[in-house]
Amino acid sequence: MRATDTTVVYGTEDLLVSLCNSVTRVLSVATQKPLHYSGMVQRITKTCLKPDIGCFVLFDGGFSGLVIINFSKEAAMEIYQSYLLSMGMSQADLATSYTSDEVANVMGELMNQVVGDFTGKVRRELQTHITQNQPKMLVLNQQVMLSVDANLDKPEARRVTFYTASNHIFYLELAIDRTEFVKVVDFEPQDTPDPDALMAQSHHAPAPAPAAASSSSETDDLLKSLGM
């Protein structure tokens, strides 16, 4: 956010910081462990799904774009295990491989919470509305180039490095229309929901059951939708 004379302008970097704060807030509350992100942001020319687990979400509305999070298997397993252990599950009940469907389901659930937190802040702080699709998770053994069909006229892309409590690394990538929000009328943003209260509600929900094995045709359909 920058101020020109008395005009307040929100740009791409401000949206990126807001998204990064949503990632750290939601995942820190979910896992009961601290996460942080690098103070340096990379400007990139294209977005990619990368091993070991890639997740992406498209959003549209007041502005369009794409969010990708690429987890190393170590980061994914740490977040998955910490989340379910904090919900009261025993270590013996947890999946032991990052390729498990249950790991993908849990990481997709957390990704959904992250983007939901971000869209809520956009609504409260920027007074516009964006919608998201259901997060898609892929276990990858090779890099995948992701073409964004989100009608981006002047796309800008950024990458940020995140660190878990055990210093395992994952990356967030954001592709978004070049946009600015100019504050022309003073207003007070709505109160932010208490994440502890939200997670407390989540903890009272039934633990996620292992999903049935996905069919190969479902994976093929998803890859076809990405143009591969």
Across the chain, mean pLDDT equals 83
Please report which confidence band the pLDDT of residue 221 belongs to, taking 50, 70 and 90 as the band edges.
low
pLDDT score of 31: 96
Report the distance separating Cα 209 and Cα 215, nearest Å: 18
- The number of distinct structural domains making up the chain is 1
**Please, which contacts does 216-225 make with residues 24 or more away whose CB atoms are closer than 8 Å?**
219/138, 222/136, 222/138
Residues whose CB is less than 8 angstroms from the CB of residue 127 and which lie 6 or more positions away in sequence, other chains included: 187
pTM of the model: 0.78
Range of the domain at 20: 2-225
CATH code, domain carrying 103: 3.40.1550.10
17: helix, coil or strand? helix
What is residue 5's DSSP assignment?
A: T
Partnered with residue 183 across adjacent β-strands are: 8
Specify the pLDDT at position 193. 57
Q: Can you spell out the DSSP letters for 168-186?
A: -EEEEEEEEE---EEE-S-
Average pLDDT over residues 47-53: 89
Q: 């006229």: which residue's tokens?
A: 153
State both tokens at 210. Answer: 């292992």
CA 109 from chain center: how many Å?
10
pLDDT digits (tens, 9 = 90+) for 128-176: 889 888 888 888 887 776 654 555 777 899 999 999 999 999 999 999 9
